[in-house]
Copies of this chain bind each other. A is one copy, B any other.
Amino acid sequence: MNIKDKSGTTVVRREAAGEPVLTWRDRLVGKPLPTTEVSHQTIGKAIGLAVFASDALSSTAYATQEMLVILAVAGTAAFRFSIPISFGIVTLLAILTLSYEQTIYAYPSGGGAYIVSRDNLGEMPALIAAAALLMDYILTVSVSVSSGVAQITSAFPKIFPFRIEIAVFLVMLIMLLNLRGVKESGVAFSIPSYFFVVLMFTTVIVGFTRYFTGSLGVVVAPPELEMLHAAQPITFFLILRAFSNGTSAVTGVEAISNGVMAFNEPRSRNAGITLIWMASILGVLLLGITFLAFQIQAVPSEAETLISQLARTVYGGRGWLYLAEIVATTVILVLAANTAFAGFPRLSAIVAEDGYLPRQMTLRGNRLVYSYGITSLALIASFLIVIFQASVTNLIPLYAIGVFLSFTLSQAGMAHRWWKSGRLKPGEELKERGSVIKQDSRWRVKMFINGLGAITTAVVMLVFGITKFVDGAWIVILLTPVLVALFYIIHVHYKNVADRLTLENFAAAPRIRRHRVILALGGVHRGSLAALRYARTLSDDITAVHVAVDPEEAERIQKKWEQWGEGIRLVMLESPYRQFVEPLLLYIGEIEAQRQPDEVITIVVPQFIPGKKINNILHARTADTLRKSLLNTQDIVITEVPYQVG
């Protein structure tokens, strides 16, 4: 024990406390880490790509398939529309990339949609963005893990009936790893990420080679197309619905802009180049997979994923390369879920810091991670997996709308920022809501780019909301305002509490001059004498009170008290209805009514503590009931004097 004096205050520092006692929980998630170990490591472009790209790149595992699911309603002939739709999505991707390049340079310390909206649009848009992002992170976990499990069950159809259990198990595993604290050291992440990129490119290149040499052929024994009833006509609405499903490919593009501070200096430049790399790989893979899927006449199915069909057709069967492709796809999908486990807790900690979520979410757990956020995310995502049967097709209608809502708000915020920057004189700076806006001569171009991004994503969001409304988008549309309302309610509560606790203009209450003690007696025994002994240190004004449920018992207590009560007056409360607490509360109420302003009343309750907690069920815990009933009464203090037995 080390005691230091610092301006009159004693500071206690314990060297011995460096190795805290391990509980079973510590054994599961690892021993506690000291606060000083928060890491400030930065990474280069190659590793940055691996760390931040998994969310975006993994979308290629399901985006094409989900387009085809919609087109299949109009028969297999409609599948040819998947190619122009993919070009549309790649165009969208290009616009988004340009937009986010600017965010990366404007927010070198990380510009997520919540922060950008808060700085440039205000409280309400920021909260909408937060709600959208939190839902987005949850769905990223549900969709990615469900798709990952679908890859596994494609290779091993026998375990298809257990897909929900496997998916929930995977979420729990990722949760546990994150509670231990995954060091985003990058190296561990870059191996599976690059493994996936290399294998996916190999598949696409081999596929194209075989296509041009005419040896590609079609899927052998394709899975049955589940909804091949009377084909509906191909309408514009149907194409828009397919496009909406396909936009799930661009989810995750924003990840790099959130994590700019993780890059080596020059941060913005490195992050910006990485974003362009990521977008290029994503675009090429999406186009390649969609084109090849069409050529091999792949069919969307819950039983076998499109990636599985593609891989076994390109590689001519379920060989080692096929298996490697399945493993790589599964792993990148799990990594994508893992990134949400970094994003969700971090965002909820920021929102909680601003007072819109429970304060506990800002606490770092034993392992320096935001344990509450991690656990909440895992539970809600697992709940969704169970409800939606671990089916990507069922989950997709909920997914992209939140992402595009946050895109729109973030880009609109940036556009507004450039507009304000245009109002400034050269060299002038504007400080607003904690962020600094500098004059920028190219503000018109920049505002146009972000404005284009905002309008495009807003249109996509509307298209998505309308075309997928009945399929599940309504849930998100309904939940967003509910969440925002909840944020406000929490905020108002914290504000009220702060107002009631503040010491500004506070006149200290007068010193307490009278202390009245009521000793609640259940019986006369060593426990109650211990309580009496304590009560005597508080005041000389002590009244012992017994609730006489059983008249014979009451008489015994009275006699014993005459012998042991040290002359303290005893009041018997009759209880015709055999209640313990109510007569006591009535009596205390009467005493309370006579209380003076400088007087305080303490209720002393002997609290009998059995050696084993389980034994509590053998005793009526009157003290607990009394405590709960009286906590809400001003200037009445309850003191339990514990008496340990056994």
Contact = CB atoms under 8 A, between A and B. Distances in A.
A41 interface: no
Nearest to A532: B508
A645 B526 contact: no
A578 interface: yes
Given A582-B20, A609-B631, A646 B511 contact: no
Contacts of A445: none
Interface stretch (A273-281, A398-406, A562-570): A562-570
A363 B561 CA distance: 24
A618 B494 contact: yes
A232 interface: no
A569 B6 CA distance: 12
Interface string A27-65: 000001111100000000000000000000000000000
A547 B411 CA distance: 43
A646 B497 contact: yes
A594 interface: no
B610 A497 contact: yes
A440 interface: no
Given A9-B570, A572-B12, A640 B638 contact: yes
A198 to B, nearest CB: 41
A75 interface: no
A572 B365 CA distance: 21
A434 interface: no
List of 4 A-B pairs having minimum Cβ-Cβ separation, nearest first: A501-B525, A34-B576, A32-B577, A500-B645
Interface string A529-573: 110011011110000000010000000001011101000011111
Interface stretch (A222-230, A465-473, A583-591): A583-591
User: Can you tell how many copies of this chain the complex includes?
Assistant: 2
Contact of A490 (B18, B618, B638): B618
A493 B501 CA distance: 46
Contacts of A32: 577, 579
A14 interface: yes
Contact of A570 (B10, B512, B577, B600): B10
Interface in A607-635: 607-610, 615, 617-620, 631-634
A8 interface: yes
Nearest to A639: B639
A558 B7 contact: yes
Scoring A17, A560, A577 by chain B CB atoms within 10 A of each residue's CB, the highest score goes to A577
A33 B637 contact: no
A359 B574 contact: no
A364 interface: yes
A515 interface: yes
A610 B36 CA distance: 34
13 contacts: A8-B562, A12-B571, A359-B620, A360-B620, A363-B578, A364-B578, A365-B578, A503-B525, A506-B526, A508-B529, A633-B642, A637-B642, A638-B640
